[in-house]
Structure 1
Amino acid sequence: MKNIYLTTGTINQVFDELETSLKGVLDSKNNEFNLTLNSDLIKGNIKAIPFINGISSIQVNITFSDDTMLSIESLSKSSILFAYCTEGYIKHSFGVSGHKLTLRKHYSGFVTSSRSINTILHFKKNMPIKFSLIKVETEDSVNTINDSIILKMKKTFLNKRQNHTYQGLENLKITEKFNQFNSITEQGMSGHVMKKEIIQSILTMEIKNHTDNLIKMSRAIKRSTLNQINELKKMASFIKNYAFEGIYNKVIISKNRIIIK
């Protein structure tokens, strides 16, 4: 088992640290980062694009030669981290001994944290893994005040319990969006804007999906509660009728005894 520790910070700081700890080669230009990895431990590449409104996109395509645990310094209370798996699977936990949640192919999930505890990613050796991350910083970004999507993300996904992990349903539409994202060949500002629009459309889908799922859960709980109430009413009615019949039978028996005497 290999252990890798990663501190949080700006994209520049994170990729500088990844380059050193994973012995990679970093190419950064036009506000995009491409880390090529070809060591005894890991092969593949990690790409990232930071956007001006507090949103960053990271694409990961790697294979570890040994079981590996990546420990990431705790997220800030205002951060939301989305993950989408397109090949293999990822395991996540809060802390080394925390409950492990498996993110499978074509599934998405998100993580928020309000306590100082590391986010742990667990990788299985010799298994190719492809996944995408979208990190949303809801505070201290340039356009937060006027950016409606940031405000919606904050309202929808933050203010949960202290450390929250959620895995959604299989979503091929999001996978298709990432395929579109990865197929963009335009360079410079036009390519950057196209990629930003796709990432924002994915986040909009996540808001809708999560809201719809909560509504469905609420309705299911309500239906379950009503069913339980109806069953209790039926049971109460049965007990009442049973008790009445029992008392009635006793009265009849008593009357018969009196008549016989």
Structure 2
Amino acid sequence: MQEIVIKSSKDELIVRQLKDCLEGTLDRQWGESVLKFENNKGKGLIRSIEFDWGVSLLDCDICLNETTKIIFNTSKASPVEFIFISEGSLQYQEGDEQEMMDLERYQNIIISPKRASKKTFVFPANTNLKINFIRIRKKEFLKKRNNNVTYLNDLLFSVFQDENSDLPYAHTGSYSLKIADQVKALGAVRDSGIVRTLSLEGRLYLILALQLMEHHEFECKEVLPESLSKSDIRRIHQLSEFIVDSISEPMTIKLLSEESGLSPKKLQLGFRLLYSKSVNEYVRQIKLEIARDLLKNSDMSVSEIVYHIGIKSRSYFSKIFWEEYAILPTDYKKTSKRRSS
């Protein structure tokens, strides 16, 4: 495991220190610092851009060849960080005594370590990671007219006020596709010059607003539309096991909704979030994977397998099997048997 120690809280200096370790090229245009690298360390792109009132954006789209600890060790107050992971996952630790926290894909994350406390992010090896950091230096942001931080809940407000500099703060909230869509739009900005800068800043504040809104609703024990709680995610995982165990039975949205205790809308949202598929697409995929394994490893006939996975029409099964694997089930079975013998 390699370690990278960062001794600054300023985005531009962070990117420079990352360049010293990851190598690559560092370019600056329209107020953005962009680090690109592709070497024995891995490949990817890291960009930073600073705006007024202590607000900045640090974007990572990387894949590292070795598990990497990035340790931020500075004596100055750390910014409040609003983190959103669009792809992959990582771990976070404050100091040396706190337990590692799992930071997961599509989860709304807010962290603010206590003053002079080091923070560690662990980036897994050979994993595509897309991470969006919105960083706010508290004292500068409080100078912003109409910052309205008094509307935050008491604890988060005190974090912004820096009243509890010795009190670490970490929020790992709901999972949101609405925020994911806005982060994706942020990465798709292709304008140049002032139009680009204004577009990025506008998108950044919209994402920040959505993250604060999620935090507020989370504290009020409510869930926003287009978001899921941890218990919802757990139910979706349990439902995926139910689907495998009941693969011979009819799988309707109504049945799965009753089994999970989630509404049909939330059910569809959960499968889109976890598996990037609708419920029906996911069920069909599982049926095909089970059928493929049975064709390869069992003596069941194609007709028996079709019945076992709960599909009524053999011709329909052959059609969707061909669409998925570009081979007919009978041919796949013959090929698999020849290889095994």
TM-score range for the pair, normalised by the shorter chain length: 0.7 to 0.9
Partner residue in 1 for 2:133 = 133
Whichever residue aligns with residue 148 of structure 1, its letter is N
Q: Would you say 1:72 and 2:68 are equivalent positions?
A: no
Whichever residue aligns with residue 193 of structure 2, its letter is G
Aligned residues: 216
Distance 2:159 2:214 in 1: 12
Cα deviation 1:30-50 (Å, max 9, x = unaligned): 101110012212211101111
Partner residue in 1 for 2:195 = 190
Distance 2:140 2:53 in 1: 10
Partner residue in 2 for 1:144 = 143
Is the CA contact 1:64–1:126 (under 8 Å) kept in the aligned structure 2? Answer: yes
Shift in CA distance, 156/216, structure 1 to aligned 2, threshold 3 Å: farther
Q: CA deviation at 1:79?
A: 2.0
Q: TM-score under structure 2 normalisation?
A: 0.58
Shift in CA distance, 74/163, structure 1 to aligned 2, threshold 3 Å: farther
Distance 2:218 2:104 in 1: 19
Matches within 5 A, 1:1-261: 1-74=1-74, 76-77=76-77, 79-140=79-140, 144-148=143-147, 155=157, 157-158=159-160, 159=163, 162-216=167-221
| Secondary structure at 1:208 match in 2 | helix
Whichever residue aligns with residue 63 of structure 1, its letter is C
Shift in CA distance, 32/83, structure 1 to aligned 2, threshold 3 Å: same
Distance 2:150 2:139 in 1: 10
Whichever residue aligns with residue 176 of structure 1, its letter is D
Q: TM-score under structure 1 normalisation?
A: 0.75
Partner residue in 1 for 2:310 = none
Name the stretch that deviates more: 7-16 or 24-33.
7-16
Structure in which a larger fraction of residues adopt helix: 2
Higher relative contact order (CA closer than 8 Å, sequence separation 6+): 1
Is the CA contact 1:81–1:110 (under 8 Å) kept in the aligned structure 2? Answer: yes
Shift in CA distance, 212/65, structure 1 to aligned 2, threshold 3 Å: same
Identity %: 18
Is the CA contact 2:6–2:73 (under 8 Å) kept in the aligned structure 1? Answer: yes
Partner residue in 1 for 2:290 = none
5+ residue gaps in structure 2? 223-341
Whichever residue aligns with residue 169 of structure 1, its letter is S
Cα deviation 1:99-138 (Å, max 9, x = unaligned): 1111111112011122322110112111111111110112
Is the CA contact 2:108–2:214 (under 8 Å) kept in the aligned structure 1? Answer: no
Distance 1:72 1:121 in 2: 8
5+ residue gaps in structure 1? 218-261
Distance 2:83 2:39 in 1: 25
Distance 2:143 2:181 in 1: 28
Whichever residue aligns with residue 6 of structure 1, its letter is I
Shift in CA distance, 195/173, structure 1 to aligned 2, threshold 3 Å: same
Whichever residue aligns with residue 87 of structure 1, its letter is E
Is the CA contact 2:54–2:136 (under 8 Å) kept in the aligned structure 1? Answer: yes
Distance 1:145 1:123 in 2: 34
Partner residue in 2 for 1:236 = none
Distance 1:50 1:149 in 2: 21
Whichever residue aligns with residue 172 of structure 2, its letter is Q
Is the CA contact 1:156–1:207 (under 8 Å) kept in the aligned structure 2? Answer: no
Shift in CA distance, 45/57, structure 1 to aligned 2, threshold 3 Å: same
Name the stretch that deviates more: 126-135 or 200-209.
200-209
Whichever residue aligns with residue 157 of structure 2, its letter is K
Is the CA contact 1:6–1:73 (under 8 Å) kept in the aligned structure 2? Answer: yes
| Secondary structure at 1:216 match in 2 | coil
Cα deviation 1:188-238 (Å, max 9, x = unaligned): 111111111111111112222212221228xxxxxxxxxxxxxxxxxxxxx
Structure in which a larger fraction of residues adopt strand: 1
Distance 1:85 1:197 in 2: 20
| Secondary structure at 2:98 match in 1 | coil
